[in-house]
Amino acid sequence: MSTFGQYFKVTTYGESHGRSVGCIVDNCPPGLQLSEADIQPQMTRRRPGQSALTTPRDEKDRVEIQSGTEDGITLGSPIALRVLNEDQRPKDYGGGGKNIDAFPRPSHADWTYLEKYGVKSSSGGGRSSARETIGRVAAGAIAEKYLRVAHGVEIVAFTSGVGPEHLFPATKTHPNQSANPAFLELIDKITREKVDEFLPVRCPDETVCNSMADLIAQYRDKSDSIGGVVTCVIRNCPSGLGEPCFDKLEATLAHAMMSIPATKGFEIGSGFGGCEMPGSIHNDPFVKAPAVPPAEANGHASEGAAAGRRRPRLTTKTNNSGGVQGGITNGAHIYFNVAFKPPATIGQAQQTVGYDEEAGVLEAKGRHDPCVIPRAVPIVEAMAALVVMDALLAQSARQSARSLLPVLERTVPVSETESKLLKES
Amino acid sequence: MSTFGQYFKVTTYGESHGRSVGCIVDNCPPGLQLSEADIQPQMTRRRPGQSALTTPRDEKDRVEIQSGTEDGITLGSPIALRVLNEDQRPKDYGGGGKNIDAFPRPSHADWTYLEKYGVKSSSGGGRSSARETIGRVAAGAIAEKYLRVAHGVEIVAFTSGVGPEHLFPATKTHPNQSANPAFLELIDKITREKVDEFLPVRCPDETVCNSMADLIAQYRDKSDSIGGVVTCVIRNCPSGLGEPCFDKLEATLAHAMMSIPATKGFEIGSGFGGCEMPGSIHNDPFVKAPAVPPAEANGHASEGAAAGRRRPRLTTKTNNSGGVQGGITNGAHIYFNVAFKPPATIGQAQQTVGYDEEAGVLEAKGRHDPCVIPRAVPIVEAMAALVVMDALLAQSARQSARSLLPVLERTVPVSETESKLLKES
Amino acid sequence: MSTFGQYFKVTTYGESHGRSVGCIVDNCPPGLQLSEADIQPQMTRRRPGQSALTTPRDEKDRVEIQSGTEDGITLGSPIALRVLNEDQRPKDYGGGGKNIDAFPRPSHADWTYLEKYGVKSSSGGGRSSARETIGRVAAGAIAEKYLRVAHGVEIVAFTSGVGPEHLFPATKTHPNQSANPAFLELIDKITREKVDEFLPVRCPDETVCNSMADLIAQYRDKSDSIGGVVTCVIRNCPSGLGEPCFDKLEATLAHAMMSIPATKGFEIGSGFGGCEMPGSIHNDPFVKAPAVPPAEANGHASEGAAAGRRRPRLTTKTNNSGGVQGGITNGAHIYFNVAFKPPATIGQAQQTVGYDEEAGVLEAKGRHDPCVIPRAVPIVEAMAALVVMDALLAQSARQSARSLLPVLERTVPVSETESKLLKES
Amino acid sequence: MSTFGQYFKVTTYGESHGRSVGCIVDNCPPGLQLSEADIQPQMTRRRPGQSALTTPRDEKDRVEIQSGTEDGITLGSPIALRVLNEDQRPKDYGGGGKNIDAFPRPSHADWTYLEKYGVKSSSGGGRSSARETIGRVAAGAIAEKYLRVAHGVEIVAFTSGVGPEHLFPATKTHPNQSANPAFLELIDKITREKVDEFLPVRCPDETVCNSMADLIAQYRDKSDSIGGVVTCVIRNCPSGLGEPCFDKLEATLAHAMMSIPATKGFEIGSGFGGCEMPGSIHNDPFVKAPAVPPAEANGHASEGAAAGRRRPRLTTKTNNSGGVQGGITNGAHIYFNVAFKPPATIGQAQQTVGYDEEAGVLEAKGRHDPCVIPRAVPIVEAMAALVVMDALLAQSARQSARSLLPVLERTVPVSETESKLLKES
């Protein structure tokens, strides 16, 4: 299926050789101020060839709203978004090479698409092109706008690993980033503006960023490629999001992230490192939540937004859980890592076998992107926004339906303290 | 939502305090021989307290088919499955403790469920109980039966890590399991029978298994807990499964695995380690696929099964991709790791805060499972079966619809070799 | 698929020969008081053999809640419902007859099920049995309870036609029921209690009811059967429900009704008769809505329910639309007719052809229900409740999401009056 | 939701004031020859202002394929379709009138959209415009192309009623069209070409067509409007389509038809008239199906299409069922009626109440379509195609999955004849 989400539904379309790529966003709340200007920045961050020094006004990948708004306000009807494919010379896709038609590219989707569909587009993997992500980023920007305006949600991703270079490598004292104060401090503050100060790598630490840039340059010079890790944090996410069984928030996040081309892994909170921690240390004890400063609350209210938003009264002392417990958000920062493999299309000659089952050498022409991590940053942010938005609408329906029921005389659990507390909620 | 799958749909229900737990399996193919005896073995493997030495006839968790079969044959209608809750004393759930009502258990779902629903079951997290997985395992057994009979699919999971003990630790020569010949050999042969020779740990290597058993015993003795990793391989999966955009096979696998309680990470093929490999090494070159031995093909056909199944004529030399390229299976082994955190319920006293926002000490009573990894093995297998089955039906609809169309004079790509090849397909 | 609804999801299971029939209700709002006593009455109304005079305490079709509630309160988790099949002698289903195995019953589902599944249950049509509707009625009772408590919604169906006997036959003055004051008065007041005073026919008019009873008796005596029409009204449905394109409320109502076994037609508001009216008469002009009497409003509020429910300030003078305009409810009564064909299983001998393609005579044994209309009444009510509940949750998510957005400086339309009005909303 | 279908999924977008309208078609089988020329004819039939005499080359509503095909072959990826809105002057929509901003139009969607979304587009009902159906017709044309090429399916709709004028009015001898030989003969032969000989009314009988044309002219001259009925037949639909419970084929057909703007009723086969027939007459006895003439079978096969299509070996003598029994197609003609109300927008002044709750007179300007029936014909055909296509893919997945299972030793039913028969199937 080409649709993501059950409440906030995004359906994308488009290959690189067609007229356009884009999507339809269904069930966006009505009454949201929205124009192309809200969407374009992330589209532009997704494009190749960016750097901190040179940000020429890029006229490409301009998004166009087809429907669903009037006078800059969403109507509640489907929002169709479209980006023209300006250059549709099929021969050039996938890195060209005169023998590209004879060989399925190793670790690319040429072969599996042919197995699946029995036909093959001139661009090889068809929808497996990076261009497919344009619709996701456009839709994600709409979700993000809503989440920011209505709930103050902030989503920021950044490059945390390129090949063996890591922003927070495991150390004796801090074997795991979830226990590393420097990591926790970073995700508490990091902004997209800060991340983009470190273009083109997008790793928000000057030393590490430079090492990564060097590493990427080395692979580029060898006509080779290298993978890496993107880390993402979601702040101010309301508690109570995520469904308890199959659609736990970490499950839909994993689904979303592993649907981005070239991903090989996902971990949330303590992640794989958490397997090595004892429960007594891994568990996040509860602490009383700080009161929300009236100034902040007001500031938000004056944006007409967070009024009535329910704040957790408890929070956790540590956050090995990554903001999600039992599949449901607890109001703490949600953070996760996504692993990307090295790009499959490389300039080096590759010994392989052709569609005719004869061995041969595939030689790609031209320059190829040696590392996709920096460009993956806005895609990870977009998919995170789609997941949270979908979970939010699911929970809104539930809470809103419940709010019309009579207050329970007593709720299910029986201790006195709890009973008292619940009656007040 | 409590439903998994879009074609092969499984809807589960049940908390530990209700009359029963179970599920409805919708869209199971008609004409499959199926009885409780096909389902019970995995139910039993899921239960606690198993060991290789003692396999007493366990009368608990008996699954009962309610509908959808007659005379041991599936009718094509919904199959409802039910397992009674024999013991519904709510006070004992979640590890009891006299103050369990006053404190949300750290890193458990008590608090987030209350945030989500505004009511709280006596068992605390309600559906977050491990008992919820019964319906998944039962449904998975049906999917597995079909996949095995119709396609010869084999799904085997095993314990590959407990705390810092790993079956295939990274070494200088083999930094990554996807490049480790011992690993590749293991996943090529491993069976459930072999895995269960290593009960109760289910790590199929005597030395490592013993170390893991020791480690678990240590944590048990400290009233603490420890996490670990389950590795799973899917063999003989038809090529062409998985959707190219949001529902890539690795994405739905990740969704499935991260929906299992207590998971923190998922990686497929080269996984997180793959980020550190150059593309020139990570890419899996194609080789001509070996011909299927007629004996094997016949053997299968005599089971009335694989007749007409399309075999890839190409395969890959290495398998860093983990059997999936561009989100679509290529016919090679699919293998992946799932990270589980240490169980949140521990016997040790925990300093935390109660529902009344007052600090205090939570003391759980009784014995708790210090490590869930061994019991997670059949759950991982079940979810893998559900993912493959769903993708298979999606692809069946597509292929079947395509097979009725006129053969194309020429297909899209234009090279002569390919054109020739495609016409034959 | 065996699931109905996108937000309030009901999945049913069960044939008459299996252990049980039932359903899983997913996404029921938490905090609703619910026990078997809320569900049983409609189950009992659905059973055969009822009359006003004799209402023996019927011990059959007892519904059992398996999950999703505790202490009589819904938890927000899936509610599984089960009704045992007490008598599973397959030979007796479908009216038996010694040659039932040799002949597909005319106008029954025996033949089409075999075409569809390639296997055939002993009960012939498997899921096409009337017993399949048990799960629907049980689930509908839960939806109804919520709708009544939270919104004061009332759903009442009744028999309006049996064969050529009609409660509101077309006359010169009132060619169409939507223009007939007697009809409009009836749907304004009719209650289930009133309808059940006219058991076993359930047509709330003594004269017509008696004629219908006579007609049914005639067909019964001839071992023949007869069809009829059920009319249903939904009162107090909130405005704004229904989606504007494919899921217009009349479309999902039609889907729901036409999924009930033996239905042949659906019409809403003016229906087929409306085709013959000129637009100038068919259009429903707006009038100012009467103020809600404080007493009623309070009464409702004291049930903790309707507080905050938004009342339309306009209503319509006539109601040819049947409460739905552009697919969306306008707050007026929703009313519709459902046509049921005569039952296919009759006692008369039928000349037909067998599974072996040889002509012959099918003779069914025993007594058969000559008219299903009276028993269809609670099924129509149940399906109506499921449709409204699903649309309500969809709209709740939307409204709740919108309510957190800043108030618009100006809305899209530009007239001064409207602008003023909208700002206040 | 703006999506129709579960397997063949169509998502539409667009209001009349935006840049474009269109849709995304997901899961179209790969390998189908498809270009704009396959889609445009139905788009053109849908446009207003057509007549048999004048068919000027209409340059408007040109559909443009954005994705999903290459070199005129479908790739299996989403097909996006777009039609530009050439004229976006919002003031003119909805029949203009200087006071259109002050009054919600009676029986239009202006008021209910405002209730639903809280914002209002300048075109009033937004998506309720007839322009919304463009995406449906475009998507339906793709489904139709597949159904025709692969299965020889033919779908033809025509005008059968305008106001009180009916093509097959009830008579003493033929109270019901399902029993009228003239009707049955017509639906056996009727083609779109024949229907379009009767433009602009599209009622394929000269006398009745002329009466209808006169009637429409009368209403036009009075600035009034009139409703009517469209009848549709689906020929050569494979047997076995439709799901047995909620998604019976008649239920999804009803859903589809009642989602078309301005519909008030749906009936299939004997319909509402069938309620008045005794079961002994209404039942459709089985007869042996005629052998398929080899010529026809070959002819089809030479189109590379129907090879392997399974033909029912039984058919029915009468067809009161309308081709569907127990919700599943039996291979006979499927036919149904759809009732359309008179258009709500009329030129006459209407006494009503404005957004400000003040009474007043709404006067629409300009010419309005007095009868939508003729233009509804291709929309009904399109929705029918979407329903059949979706059901076909569902059944393809099932049959294809079943075909890989071992042949059953014996199937469920036990009579000897049947058992023998089933083993052969």
pLDDT at C257 over 50: yes
Q: Which residues pair with D335 in a beta bridge?
A: D233
Q: Which residues pair with A165 in a beta bridge?
A: A162
Amino acid B133: pLDDT? 94
The mean of the pLDDT values for chain D is 86
Of C12, C38, C14, C8, the closest CA to residue C26 belongs to C8
The yes/no answer on whether domain A3-284+319-402 falls in CATH 3.20.20.70 is: no
Mean pLDDT of A278-306: 66
Residue length, chain B? 425
**CATH of region C3-402:** 3.60.150.10
Contacts C74 to B, Cβ<8 Å: 119
pLDDT at A11 over 90: yes
Mean pLDDT of D346-359: 91
The mean of the pLDDT values for chain C is 86
Of B319, B315, B320, B317, the closest CA to residue B291 belongs to B315
Is the bond preceding residue B378 a cis peptide, omega within 30 degrees? no
Chain A contact probe: residue of C246, C399, C405 with most A CBs at under 10 A: C405
At A234, which helix (H) or strand (E)?
strand A228-235
CA diameter of chain D? 77
CB contact under 8 A, B24 and C24: yes
Amino acid C99: pLDDT? 61
Pairing outcome for strands A328-329 and A324-325 = antiparallel
Range from C80-84, C125-129, C271-275, D399-403 carrying the lowest mean pLDDT = C125-129
Amino acid D55: pLDDT? 40
Range from A365-369, C200-204, D186-190 carrying the lowest mean pLDDT = A365-369
Contact between B258 and B347 (Cβ < 8 Å): no
Say how many Å lie between the first and final Cα of chain A, rounded. Answer: 40
Amino acid A246: pLDDT? 97
Amino acid C356: pLDDT? 85
pLDDT at C127 over 80: no
Rounded to 5 degrees, φ, ψ at C31 are 90, 10
Mean pLDDT of C103-114: 91
Domain ranges within chain A, ordered by starting residue:
3-284+319-402
Contact between D249 and D321 (Cβ < 8 Å): no
User: In sequence order, which residues have a C-beta less than 8 Å from that of residue A24 and are 6 or more positions away?
Assistant: A10, A11, A78, A79, A80, A81, D2, D11, D13, D24
Measured between CB atoms, which of B31, B70, B306 is closest to D402? B31
User: Tokens 């993107």 map to which residue?
Assistant: A230
pLDDT at D357 over 90: no
Contact between A61 and A134 (Cβ < 8 Å): yes
Nearest CA in chain B to D396: B397
Q: What is the DSSP letter of B104?
A: P
Secondary structure (3-state) at B123: coil
Rounded to 5 degrees, φ, ψ at A251 are -75, -45
User: In sequence order, which residues have a C-beta less than 8 Å from that of residue A115 and are 6 or more positions away?
Assistant: B239, B240, B310, B312, B328, B330, B331
Range from A412-421, C161-170, D257-266 carrying the lowest mean pLDDT = A412-421
Mean pLDDT of D11-31: 94
The string of pLDDT tens digits covering residues C133-156 is: 999 999 999 999 999 999 999 999
The string of pLDDT tens digits covering residues B199-223 is: 999 999 999 999 999 999 999 999 9
Amino acid B50: pLDDT? 61
Instruction: Annotate D343-396 with DSSP letters as a single string.
Output: PS--SS-EEEE-TTS-EEEE---S---S--HHHHHHHHHHHHHHHHHHHHHHHH
D66's tokens: 């954005």
User: In sequence order, which residues have a C-beta less than 8 Å from that of residue D302 and are 6 or more positions away?
Assistant: none
CA-angle at D284, arms to D283 and D288, nearest 5°:
150
A392's tokens: 């939010």
Amino acid B312: pLDDT? 53
Q: Give D289's pLDDT tier (boundaries 50, 70, 90).
A: confident
Instruction: Annotate B338-380 with DSSP letters as a single string.
Output: EEEPPPS--SS-EEEE-TTS-EEEE---S---S--HHHHHHHH
Which residue type occupies D142? I
CB contact under 8 A, D425 and C340: no
d(CA C231, CA D107): 22
CA-angle at D23, arms to D17 and D26, nearest 5°:
165
Contacts C307 to A, Cβ<8 Å: 404
Q: What percent of chain D has pLDDT over 70?
A: 84
Amino acid B421: pLDDT? 46
Chain B contact probe: residue of C6, C7, C11, C127 with most B CBs at under 10 A: C11
Q: What percent of chain C has pLDDT over 70?
A: 84
Mean pLDDT is highest, among B307-321, C102-116, C374-388, for C374-388
Amino acid B119: pLDDT? 85
Distances (CA, A) of A252 to A90, A316, C9, C181: 34, 23, 19, 54
CA-angle at D149, arms to D143 and D155, nearest 5°:
55
Rounded to 5 degrees, φ, ψ at D296 are -60, -45
pLDDT at C226 over 70: yes
Contacts D398 to B, Cβ<8 Å: 27, 29-30, 76, 393
Range from C398-412, D106-120, D392-406 carrying the lowest mean pLDDT = C398-412
Report the interhelical angle of D373-402 vs D133-151 (nearest 10°).
50
Of D409, D385, D396, the closest CA to residue D25 belongs to D385
Q: What is the DSSP letter of C309?
A: P
Nearest CA in chain B to D70: B412
The residue ranking higher by pLDDT, B176 or B106, is: B106
Which residue type occupies B36? E
pLDDT at D52 over 50: no
CA contacts within 13 A on the Cβ side of B197: 7
Pairing outcome for strands C228-235 and C334-340 = antiparallel
Contact between C251 and D320 (Cβ < 8 Å): no
Range from A194-208, C140-154, C343-357, D155-169 carrying the lowest mean pLDDT = C343-357
d(CA D189, CA C76): 55
Amino acid A55: pLDDT? 40
Q: What percent of chain B has pLDDT over 90?
A: 70
d(CA D83, CA C147): 41
Contacts B93 to C, Cβ<8 Å: none
The string of pLDDT tens digits covering residues B396-416 is: 999 999 999 998 764 434 344
Nearest CA in chain D to A29: D117
The mean of the pLDDT values for chain B is 86
Amino acid A309: pLDDT? 40
Nearest CA in chain C to A394: C397
Rounded to 5 degrees, φ, ψ at C267 are -145, 145
Q: Give C297's pLDDT tier (boundaries 50, 70, 90).
A: very low
Rounded to 5 degrees, φ, ψ at D313 are -95, -15
Contact between A143 and A363 (Cβ < 8 Å): no
pLDDT at C418 over 50: no
Which residue type occupies D338? V
Rounded to 5 degrees, φ, ψ at D256 are -60, -45
Instruction: Tell me, yes or no, if B151 is annotated catalytic.
Output: no
Nearest CA in chain D to B406: D304
The string of pLDDT tens digits covering residues A238-274 is: 999 999 999 999 999 999 999 999 999 999 999 999 9
Rounded to 5 degrees, φ, ψ at D381 are -60, -40
Chain C contact probe: residue of A67, A402, A409 with most C CBs at under 10 A: A402
d(CA B412, CA D116): 47
Q: Give B100's pLDDT tier (boundaries 50, 70, 90).
A: low
Pairing outcome for strands C79-84 and C64-65 = antiparallel
Q: Give D412's pLDDT tier (boundaries 50, 70, 90).
A: very low
ipTM above 0.90, yes or no: yes
CB contact under 8 A, C6 and D2: no
The string of pLDDT tens digits covering residues B164-205 is: 999 999 888 888 899 999 999 999 999 999 999 999 999 999
Q: What percent of chain B has pLDDT over 70?
A: 84
CB contact under 8 A, C400 and A404: no
Measured between CB atoms, which of A27, A149, A402 is closest to C29? A402
CB contact under 8 A, B68 and C118: no
Strands (E), D209-327: 228-235, 263-268, 286-288, 314-316, 324-325
The residue ranking higher by pLDDT, B329 or A89, is: B329
Amino acid C83: pLDDT? 96
Active-site position among B92, B224, B247, B369: B369
User: In sequence order, which residues have a C-beta less than 8 Å from that of residue A244 and are 6 or more positions away?
Assistant: A326, A327, A328, B109, B113, B116, B125, B126, B127, B128, B132, C77
Question: What are the residue numbers of the active site of A?
Answer: 17, 108, 369
Of B4, B26, A11, C257, the closest CA to residue D1 belongs to A11
Mean pLDDT of A127-134: 84
- Distance between alpha carbon D245 and the CA centroid of its chain, in Å? 22
Residues of chain C whose beta carbon is less than 8 angstroms from a beta carbon of chain A are 6-7, 27, 29-33, 70-71, 73, 75-77, 146, 149-151, 244, 303-309, 392-394, 396-408, 411-412
User: In sequence order, which residues have a C-beta less than 8 Å from that of residue A25 and are 6 or more positions away?
Assistant: A8, A9, A10, A68, A78, A79, A80, A81, A139, A142
Distance from CA of D349 to the nearest CA of B (A): 50
